[in-house]
Chains A and B, each alone.
Chain A
Amino acid sequence: MTVFTSLLAGLVFGLGLIVAGMANPAKVLAFLDLAGAWDPSLAFVMGGAIGVGFVAFLVARQRTVSFLGAEMKLPTASHIDRRLVLGSVAFGIGWGIAGFCPGPGLVALGMGEGKALVFVASMLAGMGIFELLERRRRTASTAQKG
């Protein structure tokens, strides 16, 4: 059941991105271009999403299991460290270069755009590099302790 609701949530998420115009990198870049002809649409997308999300998370916070009985896995991390900030800055630079973040990249891939395939493949490679670096770091720290 949760696999089906997962598919449905992904579908609604993707539809939201398309309706909002956010699967179109040119529109995202028009928001990020404060010094040019500025298109504030992305702020309205965030506003609409957060308005609904705020209520949903108020409900979620009161529960230990979901309405389908799945374990409620809400983030517990609250620290703001170098990893978080530098990682986010790197992401923001990439976002500013092409106008793609992960969701719109996947939606544009579904549209059959060759350029989106290049972006998504590179993004997966980046995520793979992260996993390799993390594995090396973990091995190094275990070796140190041992």
Chain B
Amino acid sequence: MTLDLNAFTPWSALAGGVLIGVAAAMFVLLNGRIAGISGVLGGLLTPSRGDIAWRAAFVLGIVAAPWAYALVTAWPQPQIDAGQGALVVAGLLVGIGTRYGSGCTSGHGVCGLSRLSPRSLAATAAFMGAGFATVYVIRHLSGI
């Protein structure tokens, strides 16, 4: 392991993390809900009365974030290296996996660990471990 000190952005990472924490805090203290993005989004696929608007609003807020960000500073530019086929496979795995696992980085990783939930710790360890292993295989073993 070598630390990439040029890429490491501790302060903006911490600041962004605090904002994410504030969002999760708002959601639980005002709406009484866990800010788990896969769960909120997945619930829209089996809509029931009175359960649609708040879910759609939360998702819309996330999608609109770059527009709010661009009001203050430059339009954010992501770097997406994965090809179309890889994105399809990744999307399917993330979609099925987060629903079977009852959560993703936000629901288990942020909210679950904040609640000191052993179940969320197990889920987080599982997806982080799988993420580390997958990147290792793709970048260092497969020779792609």
Mark A residues whose CB is within 8 Å of B.
Answer: 2-27, 29-30, 32-42, 44-57, 59-61, 65-68, 70-75, 77-80, 83-103, 105-111, 113, 115-116, 118-131
Contacts and interface: CB of A to CB of B under 8 A. Distances in A.
Interface in B55-114: 55, 57-69, 75-82, 84, 86-102, 104-106, 108-114
B8 A16 contact: no
A8 B138 CA distance: 38
Given A27-B7, A96-B130, A124-B45, A7 B60 contact: yes
A130 B75 CA distance: 35
A110 B63 contact: yes
B61 A127 contact: no
A92 B127 contact: yes
Interface residues of B, number: 112
In the A-B complex, list the 10 residue pairs whose CB atoms are closest, starting with the nearest.
Answer: A126-B95, A10-B61, A20-B16, A48-B17, A14-B65, A122-B91, A92-B130, A52-B21, A96-B134, A87-B100
18 contacts: A6-B27, A9-B35, A10-B64, A20-B13, A37-B2, A45-B14, A46-B109, A46-B113, A87-B99, A90-B96, A92-B126, A92-B133, A93-B97, A97-B138, A113-B78, A116-B80, A118-B87, A119-B90
B30 A110 contact: no
B98 A102 contact: yes
Which of A24, A71, A105 has most B Cβ within 10 Å?
A105
